[in-house]
Chain A
Amino acid sequence: MDDWINTLGQGLLLGGMYALFATGLSLSFGIMRLINVAHGDFIVLAAFAAIALVEPLAIGPFATLPLVVLLMAGFGYLLQRLFLNRTLGEDPLRPLLVTFGVSIVIQNALLEIFSADMRGLDAGPIETASIPLGGSVAVGVFPLLVAATAVGVIGALQWLFYRTALGRAFRATADDHRTAQLMGIDNRRVYALAMALATAVVAVAGVYLAIRSGIGPSDGPQRLLCAFEAVAIGGLGSLWGTLAGGMILGVAQAVGLWLDPGWGAVSGHLAFLLVVVLRPNGLFPKTRDK
């Protein structure tokens, strides 16, 4: 029984990580209808940015967070403003191809600068600390922190979307960008801000990923897959759905891993396939297409 509870708990907390991976993807698709193939590489880029900052600045991994978030938000804003905005239009293939190219550029640039070695961040004892909950049940402090961050980030985004003028502009632009322009909204600026928001969340995911495990320059596509699955399970356009999607993915992987060490990744993919077959729009879709 305790084993089951531990497995479930680990899966749920792992799901927090996946939700952080997926939130940016969910945002850029939800607002711009942009499928960002380079999303996984953004996560890896953020992780390496943190790794590069730790030594010269002599700061801990967590202290790099605000810096990396700012850097990545700036990167996302400029990327959208200078490149991706030019690809948006009737043809959905163009942004797909351009972000695929960006993905290759990031992977090779990281390979050139950091070599192919796996790197990571050492956060000290917090990485292995756990809180006993009676019996043999325990939760890891770091996974708990990650999951709490995911809930906090999504809660904050939800507030932004439904309680602020900027969020209203985001939703209106997502609905109908032409009419939004008639209302005085500069959709190109809105898109750039949305991408900045997405890459800011990516930055958090990247730093946490570097603390949790080793990471190499070509790990991006794998992260993209997790993120994509979490978004698809949750349903497009719903941020809480993305959180739920991440957690379903995490629990499936943890259960698979517990049954047989080789089944972890596979059972995650199976859960994804199952949901897509039964509910093609995901479990909590919110996107309203015309």
Chain B
Amino acid sequence: MLEVHALHAYYGDFRALHGVDFRVEAGETVAVIGANGAGKSTLLRSLTGLLPAPFSSVFFEGQPVGGLPPHVIVRLGIAMVPEGRCLFPSLSVEENLLIGAQCGRRGPWDLAAVYRLFPALEEKRATPSTLLSGGQQQMVAIGRALMSNPKLLLCDELSLGLAPLVVREIYAALPRIKGEGAAVVTVEQDTGQAMRIADRLYCMQEGRVALEGVPRTLTPERVSQAYFGI
């Protein structure tokens, strides 16, 4: 459903991605791991349009989406849970969720469905989003992305800054999200977490894909070599 061919990405003169090939099949969970600065977040930014990609390097459902602005790409069905959550501080929890529905895509996800997925949010619906705990804020960020009824959900560093118990609780929602039909790409620094949940794994290193494969067929040695480059 998503195909990326030889993607280069630049920040000014600095080249952050050197010809990345990447694909996601319908219903798949793909994990992207790698050290800091390996290009994981740059890859996601290119997919969402925040960093304009060359026209013919990103195809979504057979259609080139490179260079389209973010608000158009989300309408095609690619939603993002940004790194650091990026909730809107002036908006309440429920308003944050409703903003996610702004693009007008129909599907299984609405307020009621998100509250069923994360019951803790319902009693906090009128609370300013900044007053929630980190884990609950992450739930809002996921719910907000789901409200656009995406075919492909991109998650950037879901576990960042959260206690292991909370991370487990958040990842527990993943099967239900996939159950509604969305494919998921999750970028993780936590390699163990990524190996547990992924159908397929990419390991990035210095702007390139260093390793691709099905987690259970990969030995820890190969992964750590691709991760660290030693």
| Contact surface of A with B, Cβ cutoff 8 Å | 165, 168-169, 171-172, 174-176, 178-187, 288
Given contacts A165-B98, A168-B98, whether A182 and B48 have CB atoms under 8 Å apart is: yes
Interface string of B33-68 (1 = CB under 8 A from A): 000000000000000111000000000000000000
Closest 10 CB pairs of A and B: A184-B103, A181-B70, A179-B86, A175-B88, A184-B74, A172-B88, A186-B71, A171-B90, A182-B80, A184-B102
Q: In the complex, what residues of A have CB within 8 A of residue B98's CB?
A: 165, 168
Interface string of B82-108 (1 = CB under 8 A from A): 100010111100010011101110000
Q: In the complex, what residues of A have CB within 8 A of residue B49's CB?
A: 181
Alpha-carbon gap, A281 to B202, bound state (A): 48
| Contact surface of B with A, Cβ cutoff 8 Å | 48-50, 69-71, 74-75, 79-80, 82, 86, 88-91, 95, 98-100, 102-104, 144, 148
Alpha-carbon gap, A288 to B75, bound state (A): 29
Find the A residue at minimum CB distance from B75.
A184
In the assembled complex, 27 residue pairs joining A and B whose CB atoms fall closer than 8 Å, in A order, are A168-B95, A168-B99, A171-B90, A171-B91, A172-B90, A172-B95, A172-B99, A175-B91, A176-B88, A178-B50, A178-B70, A179-B82, A181-B50, A181-B69, A182-B48, A182-B71, A182-B79, A182-B80, A183-B102, A184-B74, A184-B102, A184-B104, A184-B148, A185-B71, A185-B99, A186-B69, A186-B71
CB distance from A26 to the nearest CB of B (A): 15
Q: In the complex, what residues of B have CB within 8 A of residue A185's CB?
A: 71, 99, 102
Q: In the complex, what residues of A have CB within 8 A of residue B70's CB?
A: 178, 181-182
CB distance from A221 to the nearest CB of B (A): 32
Find the A residue at minimum CB distance from B49.
A181
Interface centre among A165, A179, A182 (most CB of B within 10 A): A182
Alpha-carbon gap, A186 to B88, bound state (A): 16
Interface centre among B49, B95, B104 (most CB of A within 10 A): B95
A-B interface pairs (CB < 8 A), number:
69
A183→B89 contact, CB < 8 A = no
Q: In the complex, what residues of B have CB within 8 A of residue A181's CB?
A: 49-50, 69-71
Alpha-carbon gap, A135 to B100, bound state (A): 59
CB distance from A59 to the nearest CB of B (A): 40
Q: In the complex, what residues of B have CB within 8 A of residue A288's CB?
A: 89-90
CB distance from A57 to the nearest CB of B (A): 40
CB distance from B221 to the nearest CB of A (A): 37
CB distance from B172 to the nearest CB of A (A): 25
A171→B71 contact, CB < 8 A = no
CB within 8 A of A183: which of B50, B69, B90, B100? B100
Q: In the complex, what residues of A have CB within 8 A of residue B102's CB?
A: 165, 168-169, 183-185
Given contacts A180-B99, A182-B50, A183-B100, whether A174 and B90 have CB atoms under 8 Å apart is: yes
A183→B144 contact, CB < 8 A = yes
Given contacts A182-B48, A288-B89, A288-B90, whether A169 and B99 have CB atoms under 8 Å apart is: yes
CB distance from B150 to the nearest CB of A (A): 11
Q: In the complex, what residues of A have CB within 8 A of residue B95's CB?
A: 168, 171-172
Find the B residue at minimum CB distance from A286.
B90
A182→B91 contact, CB < 8 A = no
Q: In the complex, what residues of A have CB within 8 A of residue B75's CB?
A: 184
Alpha-carbon gap, A181 to B82, bound state (A): 12
Q: In the complex, what residues of B have CB within 8 A of residue A186's CB?
A: 69, 71
Q: In the complex, what residues of B have CB within 8 A of residue A171's CB?
A: 88, 90-91, 95
Alpha-carbon gap, A117 to B126, bound state (A): 55
A176→B99 contact, CB < 8 A = no
CB within 8 A of A172: which of B50, B80, B91? B91
Alpha-carbon gap, A186 to B100, bound state (A): 13
Q: In the complex, what residues of B have CB within 8 A of residue A175's CB?
A: 88-91
CB distance from A286 to the nearest CB of B (A): 8
Interface centre among B79, B89, B90, B148 (most CB of A within 10 A): B90
